[in-house]
Structure 1
Amino acid sequence: MRVIVCADAYAEAYFSALKGLNHTFEIAGLMAENTDANRKFAERCQTQLYTDIDALPDKIDLGIIARAVPFSLGGCSTVAEQFIERGIHVYQEEPVQKDILIHLMKKAKKNSLCYRVGKPYLRLPAMQAFCSCMKKVLEDRAVYEIGIDADLGICYSIIYLLMNILPKARSLTSLNFKEVSSGRYVVFGEMGDIPFQFQTNALRHSPFPVLHRIIVNTDRGSLSLNGSQGPIFWEEAVKVPLENLSFRESRQYISSFVPSCQLIWQNQAHSIGKFVLQEWPSAIREELLQMELAMQMKRQDAVLAQKEILCAGNWEAILGNTYSEHFEGRREAVKHDLWNPAVLKYSINKKTDLTGEELISYCESLEFDFLSLCVEQRAQTLLVTMLHFLQEKGLFLSADTSYRAEEIIQKVGVASEHEHVLLRWIDVLSQKGFLTFINGKYSYTAKVTEEQVKRGWKEMAYLWDYRLSSPKSTEYLQNNVRSLSSLMDGSQKATLLLFPEGRLDFADSLYKETVILQYCNHMIARTVTDYIKKKEEDKREGKHNRLKVLEIGAGTGATTDTILSHLSQTPYIDRVEYLFSDVSSFFLQAAQKRYEVNLPVTYQIIDINSDLDGQGLEKDSMEVIVAVGVLNNARETNHAVAALLKILRKGGILLIAETVAEVLDILVSQAFMMEKPEDVRKGENKTFLSAEVWRKILNEQGKLIGEYPKDGHPLNLLGQKLFVVGKKEKICI
């Protein structure tokens, strides 16, 4: 069967549904307005775009009319009638007004065609689960009232559902219609002798039926469906015992151990993306299979037709005027204002870091597509920010001007010690297509506006804050962006932006509250704990010698905290001698104040870029060495790794956590406080080594025995790796 899809918004759901039924249906084209977006969509779907019904090809069997049809094509009902006149069966997504419905049904019957009003909403898993629950409630309990708060676009389906479930539900009675505010309506009435209250916001219409809530109040409690994906709750009624002064002696006591609120059903595919891309097309697919059966019969089902007409009449009685005024007459796009509800959880516990199994569970729940979007959007925002900064400096303001690297450096006024950072900017902007490099000169491909930059940062905060990092991390980056001029010329020290007035809140947000570093720290702590446990249980090693653990570049103590927390939960904490080291006495002083006196921690200043022997670290002296985010600041990575392995005991482990991708936020912040590399990064003009290069170095100097996240894990998109390394001899782990 050849199908034409007529839609103005989100035709993708119908195309996705039809592709899943390609053994039955063949997409003949898209009927829509001649816009750039529609042309691109048709091209991507490899189908023809039609802007006029007269241009449609012959032999179209089915016309699918989505709820949103452009008025330039005549609107839903006009297109449906034109399809029928051309001998095309029609599937029209609800709602339809009663007189129009009757007219189209009669016309389809006269032409031996099938006209069907589609209600894919009723085929969603959450809705089907709620129907089952509601039927059981009606069997067992007395229903007092039904409350509905719904987006205008799905009211028709909800009315149809109530008509199917409620006893004696036919025409509505005792209607009282009230507009409580602009576009906000409340309707009181009865359906099947059960009172109902219907609230709808006529200005809130969305192409997808997401916004709604249904509550069924009974003598025992309330059943509620919260949105098109659920969940479904049962809330037990709290009754005050009247027959006895003592609650324990009352009849209510027997049920007092029942949870006051129970989760009855929850959708596993809980994201809006899964709803739009999977559940909604699946519901449409089921509808189209029913449509196929009706088309084969070439006639209307009389019982279903009467039920449809009754539903249309009830819908029109409740919302007909509302629909006509606020939907048929308006096609204004709904503004999508970004707001992250995760801030509500933070408002309660003031905590963004996760621990233990809670952390692992959260990391496993992160989807590849979501992380890809986060990383791509963050990179795009930072690239736009960089180019905007250069344009504010008078560079790349017109396409006919180009600059050599030396000219850009001079124009920006960058200090000599930061020239490599600016050169890295230019290189990245060129790689990503924001600049072109021809004959030794750079020119721009597109101008960046301040509005683009602001929108990018707002979207980045929405995606990252509370989900992958702390809002403080975003605030820290924004502070750096505002200070880029002074960072470039050296008048602003980058360390003072990371530690303003000696505070650690920004540093903690970066090292303690980003999901990927929490994950790495957890895996480090687990690996160290497992190693020490095995060593202690091996009698051949002797239990009386303390196990020495060295942390290089411990900084704010984010990794230290996690390791000591894990070890404190074992009987082996007293068998460990933990050396907390950093190049700065500032961190050592802060650590000495933070850690308890009875913890086995000592402190020492150690510089990874200086000879370790000369700093009192003897050969083969350490069982475990931890280095998180410190070797990227080593001038020569090979030498640093070799030096650490030299002081590692035979059978010991070296744990290295490093950034392994060109993370762009570093280029507007911490790059201004990092050592200029003298290894392979210098020749390749890179800030960080790739995972492949790290593997090569580690296997040359020692033996790579494990890494996290493992290949294929979505967290790899965040550009951090933990490497577990040993000497070339046998490793005890």
Structure 2
Amino acid sequence: MKRVVVCGTTFGQVYLDALREGPFELAGILAKGSARSAACAREHGVPLLTDPARVPEVADAACVVVRAGVVGGEGSEVAAALLEHGVHVLQEHPVHPDELAAVLRTARAAGTVHHLNTLYVHLDPVRRFIAAARRLRALQQPLYVDAACSVHVAYALLDILAQALGPLRPWTLTAAPSRAPFTTVTGALGGVPLTLRVQNQIAPNDPDAHLHLLHRITIGAEGGNLTLVNTHGPIIWSPRMYVGREPDGRFAAGDPCLALPSATTLGPAEAPSFRDVVTRLWPDGVRRALTALHETVTSGADPLSQGQYHLGLGRLWLDLTRTIGRPDLLTQEPPRPLAAEEIA
């Protein structure tokens, strides 16, 4: 499973960039035939296909980077058609659990493999955060989660938390009184108290933009708190501040705890540039997701566990979206991002 077709050329551009280098080879683009898709096919020197039935002629796997029905697209129908034709599929999130269940049934009947890709869990900074969170969890029980995200990437946030914390059942979610741009949700995931702020806004004139942030997560324990400042880093460990007392009540200045830095970065202290994110970090994540699909196909492992995981995650995501309600619709002009030097 090395030759891959990409379906969709909007966010699919990231997938196309991921296939510029090995170990996978771009074999074609599947699209409806727009000028943009034709231009992408010419740029990459591959055929432009408009019929899923032709994909097995050039590839044995496909990346479906088209919106699923839950967000107004036909991605799940395309994925099902490819699976029926014997093509393994990596599908971009989010997907409604009912859609996903149908696609998984199609894959099982056809003897093909379907994986859902949330992308962000495959990025280096997030992987580093998840690994640190698991080490923290092995030492101490998490006491709380404080997180924020845009509604666009709420599904991925839940995936990050599930991989960091373990099973998220049982969960409880309640919307608290709040004002735009953030809707506040309180509750618990897997018994860990949760405070979550979701930017529940979408600009129909530019639906993939105007996010105040992607993900920001803090997991707190007795010994301190672990923070993913931004989806792309940095990661900061802040030990719990504790100043002991001498018998006479004075601060215990010799306490070893006082020698701890009040905050330490785990990994690079500076996050990558947005250019580096789009051209390196995200394509690296796509290659990791494709590698996981390849390993499932070549090992003959039952993909049902991955499917069941995402079915459960999808139900939690649906519960969250119901809790926060429909997004506010905005009309936005392109923002002017500021450099750090402008406010230093």
TM-score, structure 2 normalization: 0.82
Matches within 5 A, 1:632-643: none
The letter for the 2-side match of 1:29 is I
Q: Which residue in 2 is equivalent to 1:96? A: 95
Superposed, which structure 2 residues align to 1:292-691 within 5 Å?
292-296=294-298, 300-319=302-321, 325-326=326-327, 335-345=334-344
The one-letter amino acid paired with 1:238 is: M
The corresponding residue for 1:121 is 120
Alpha carbons 2:172, 2:187 under 8 Å: kept = yes
Task: Identify the residue that residue 3 of structure 1 maps to in structure 2.
Answer: 4
State the SS of the aligned residue for 1:29.
strand
* 2: CA distance, partners of 1:296 / 1:68: 28
Higher relative contact order (CA 8 A, sep 6+): 2
Tell whether the 8 Å contact from 1:124 to 1:279 is kept in structure 2 after alignment: yes
- Which of 245, 251, 254 is the equivalent residue of 2:256? 254
2:196 is aligned with 1:198: yes
Q: Quote the residue 1:370 is aligned against.
A: none
Distance 1:294 1:257, change over 3 A: closer
Which residue does the alignment assign to 2:265? 263
Q: Are positions 1:17 and 2:18 aligned together? A: yes
Pick closer, same or farther for the CA change 1:109–1:229 going to 2, 3 Å.
same
Report Cα offsets for 1:141-164 as digits up to 9, x if no partner.
342211111233333233233333
Equivalent residue, structure 2, for 1:505: none
How far is 1:4 from its partner? 2.4
The verdict on how the C-alpha distance between 1:196 and 1:322 changes in structure 2, with shifts beyond 3 A counting, is closer
The answer to whether the Cα contact below 8 Å between 2:210 and 2:332 also exists between their aligned partners in 1 is: no
Pair 1:110–1:178, CA change in 2 (3 A):
farther
**Unpaired runs of at least 5, structure 2:** none
Query: 2:143 touches 2:192 (CA, 8 Å); kept in 1?
Result: yes
Q: Secondary structure at the match of 2:272?
A: coil
Letter in 2 for 1:27: A
Render the CA deviation track for 1:622-645: whole Å, top value 9, x for unaligned.
xxxxxxxxxxxxxxxxxxxxxxxx
Change (3 A) 1:269 1:224: closer
C-alpha distance 47-215 of structure 1, shift in aligned 2 (>3 A)? same
Q: Which residue of 1 aligns with 2:134?
A: 135
What is the CA-CA distance between 1:232 and the residue it aligns to?
A: 1.0
Instruction: Give the conservation status (yes or no) of the 8 Å contact 1:215–1:224.
Output: yes
Question: CA separation in 2, counterparts of 1:284 and 1:230?
Answer: 18
Q: Quick check: 259-268 or 177-186, which moved more? A: 177-186
- 1:335 partner amino acid: P
Q: How does 1:62-101 map to 2 (within 5 A)?
A: 62-66=61-65, 68=67, 74-101=73-100
Three-state SS of the structure 1 residue aligned to 2:156 is helix
1:2 Cα shift? 4.2
Q: Does 1:164 align with 2:159?
A: no
Verify the 8 A CA contact 1:10 1:207 in the aligned structure 2.
Answer: no
Q: Please tell me whether the aligned partners of residues 113 and 303 of structure 2 are also in contact (alpha carbons under 8 angstroms).
A: no
Q: Report SS of the residue matched to 1:4.
A: strand
In structure 2, relative to structure 1, the CA distance for the partners of 1:4 and 1:249 (3 Å cut) is closer
Q: How far did residue 334 of structure 1 move?
A: 7.5
Give the Cα–Cα distance (whole angstroms) in 1 for the partners of residues 177 and 54 of structure 2: 43
User: Could you tell me how far apart the structure 2 residues matched to 1:90 and 1:208 are?
Assistant: 30
CA contact (8 A) 1:13 1:280 kept: yes
CA-based RMSD: 3.5
Q: Secondary structure at the match of 2:339?
A: coil
For 2:173, the equivalent position in structure 1 comes to 175
Q: Name the amino acid aligned to 2:307.
A: A
Structure 1 residue aligned with 2:28: 28
Residues 205-235 of structure 1 show CA distances to partners (whole Å, capped at 9, x for unaligned) of 7489972211012223221111122111122
Matched with 1:416 is none
Distance in structure 1 (CA, Å) of the matches to 2:9 and 2:300: 28
Residue aligning to 1:184: 182
Question: For the Cα contact (< 8 Å) 1:98–1:309, is it kept in 2?
Answer: yes
TM-superposed CA distance for 1:91, in Å, is 0.9
Matched letter for residue 186 of structure 2 = F
1:107 aligns with 2:111: no
Aligned with 1:113: secondary structure? coil
Q: Specify the code of the residue in structure 1 equivalent to 2:260.
A: V
In the TM superposition, 1:55-66 aligns within 5 A as 56=54, 59=57, 60-66=59-65
Query: Structure 2: which amino acid aligns with 1:17?
Result: A
TM-score normalised over the length of structure 1: 0.41
Contact 2:244 2:252 in 1 (8 A): no
% identity of equivalent residues: 18
Identify the structure with the greater helix proportion: 1
Question: Does the 8 Å CA contact 1:126/1:267 hold for their aligned counterparts?
Answer: no
How far did 1:236 drift? 3.0
Query: How far apart are the structure 1 equivalents of 2:221 and 2:195?
Result: 15
CA apart distance, 1:244: 5.7
User: Which residue type is aligned with residue 196 of structure 2?
Assistant: F
Q: Could you tell me whether the CA contact under 8 Å between 1:7 and 1:70 is conserved in 2?
A: no
- Distance 1:297-1:333 versus aligned 2 partners, 3 A rule: farther
Show the counterpart of 1:225. Answer: 228
Q: Is the 8 A contact 1:143 1:217 kept in 2?
A: yes
Matched residues, number:
337
Deviation of residue 189 (structure 1)?
1.8
The residue that corresponds to 2:145 in the other structure is: 146
Match of 1:63, SS state, is strand
3-state SS of paired residue (1:256): helix
Matched residue type, 2:235: I
State which of 200, 216, 220 in structure 1 corresponds to 2:219. 216
1:83 deviation in Å?
2.4
CA distance in structure 2 between the partners assigned to 1:179 and 1:91 by the alignment: 38
8 A Cα contact 1:147 1:216, kept in partner: yes
Asked whether the 8 Å contact 1:212–1:227 carries over to 2, the reply is: yes
Q: Work out whether residues 221 and 236 of structure 1, in 8 Å CA contact, stay in contact via their aligned partners in 2.
A: yes
